[in-house]
């Protein structure tokens, strides 16, 4: 999907990193640590947090009140990361996350953002025509549910806590986590009992 | 400080027309009214931070807007929730005061 980086942009990045190192802003090791941390992260972390919230009311309260603490409770290092906000869907409100200004994304718990999340088309349309975007994803909301678009513009990173779907009664956390997809964690899709 | 429920108006200002700047207030909200959902704490002003200047903490709010009003399309009842720094917000004039 994304074109490989051009020689020009790689050279620009190298000059930028050299300037940051020369000024003592970052070290090579800090950059490597951060890349390794992001490489290890993926949406299965967010999925485990959601599954635990579905089965553990105390964890659900923590997740909604303090996403950063809830992530750390799952063993995720949030040191130096922006605060994590969690948007709990209800039977009246469905959340959809976008960053219209750039591509802010809760990388510590979801990993790298997908290509489409960074695209101009998604960023423009999610705020202007959210129901059209959801329809194209094949996501149908029950009648009477409000769509609440969350434009991630500043210091928080946002993740959706979707509703637990019907038909999952008695499932354990691992089985529940398996139906919480990356797309459900930003609100373009809904978890389904497969 | 703005309490939750306060009707606020985003400043109709376009610093990007006056020179180099870094702004976290989306263009499409300037001049529009919203409702403070809740305060989100205070964070160093990104407009200074981006240029390596000393950046004082500024209160940040989650502000809710009616979605259809933004672009003249969409479904009534749908909303948009956006983080906006306090210095971009004014109390909205009382209804009827124009």
Task: State pLDDT tens for residues A83-141.
Answer: 999 999 999 999 999 999 999 999 999 999 999 999 999 999 999 999 999 999 999 99
> How far, in Å, CA of B57 to CA of B47, rounded?
11
Residues of B in contact with A149 (CB under 8 A): 67, 78-81
> How far, in Å, CA of A53 to CA of A70, rounded?
10
Distance from CA of B12 to the nearest CA of A (A): 17
Length of chain A as a residue count:
194
Mean confidence (pLDDT) of chain A: 95
Interface residue of A66, A95, A127 to substitute, partner B, most B CBs within 10 Å: A127
DSSP B92: P
Q: Which residue among A101, A129, A153 places its CB closest to the CB of B74?
A: A129
Closest to A141 measured CA to CA, from A87, A193, A194, A95: A95
> How far, in Å, CA of A3 to CA of A84, rounded?
30
Q: Report pLDDT for A144.
A: 95
pTM to 2 decimals? 0.92
Write out the H or E segment, with its range, that includes residue A34. Answer: helix A28-40
Interface residue of B65, B72, B74, B84 to substitute, partner A, most A CBs within 10 Å: B74
What band does A5 get if pLDDT is binned at 50, 70 and 90? confident
Q: Report pLDDT for B90.
A: 97
Q: Report pLDDT for A56.
A: 98
Ordered structural domains, chain A, with CATH: 7-37 (no CATH), 41-186 (3.90.330.10)
Q: Report pLDDT for A12.
A: 96
To the nearest 10°, report the CA torsion of B18, B43, A146, A53: 150
Q: Do A150 and B85 touch (CB under 8 A)?
A: no
Neighbours of A129 (CB within 10 A): 16
Neighbours of A16 (CB within 10 A): 10
Average pLDDT over residues B32-42: 97
What band does B96 get if pLDDT is binned at 50, 70 and 90? low
């Amino acid at each position: 999907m994304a074109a490989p980086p051009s020689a020009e942009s790689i050279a620009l990045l190298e000059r930028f990193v050299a300037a940051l190192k020369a000024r003592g802003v970052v070290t090579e090791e800090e950059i490597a640590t951060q890349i390794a941390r992001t490489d290890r992260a993926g949406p299965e972390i967010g999925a485990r947090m959601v599954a635990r919230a579905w089965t553990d009311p105390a964890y659900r309260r923590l997740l909604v009140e303090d996403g950063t603490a809830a992530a750390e409770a799952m063993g995720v290092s949030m040191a130096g990361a922006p605060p994590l906000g969690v948007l709990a869907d209800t039977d009246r409100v469905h959340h959809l996350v976008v960053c219209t200004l750039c591509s802010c994304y809760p990388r510590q718990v979801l990993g790298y953002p997908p290509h489409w999340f960074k695209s101009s088309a998604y960023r423009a349309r999610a705020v202007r025509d959210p129901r059209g975007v959801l329809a194209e994803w094949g996501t149908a909301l029950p009648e009477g549910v409000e769509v609440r678009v969350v434009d991630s513009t500043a210091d928080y990173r946002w993740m959706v806590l979707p509703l637990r779907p019907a038909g999952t009664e008695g499932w354990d956390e691992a089985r529940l986590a398996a139906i919480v997809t990356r797309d459900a964690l930003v609100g373009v899709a809904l978890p389904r009992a497969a | 400080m703005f309490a939750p429920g306060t009707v606020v108006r985003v400043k109709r200002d376009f610093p990007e027309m006056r020179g180099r700047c870094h702004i976290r207030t989306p263009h499409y909200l300037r001049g529009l009214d919203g409702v403070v959902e809740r305060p989100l704490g205070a964070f160093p002003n990104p407009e200074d931070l981006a240029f390596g200047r000393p950046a004082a903490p500024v209160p940040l709010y989650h502000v809710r807007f009616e979605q259809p009003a933004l672009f003249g399309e969409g479904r009534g009842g749908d909303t948009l929730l956006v983080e906006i720094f306090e210095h971009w917000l004014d109390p909205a004039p009382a209804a009827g005061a124009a």
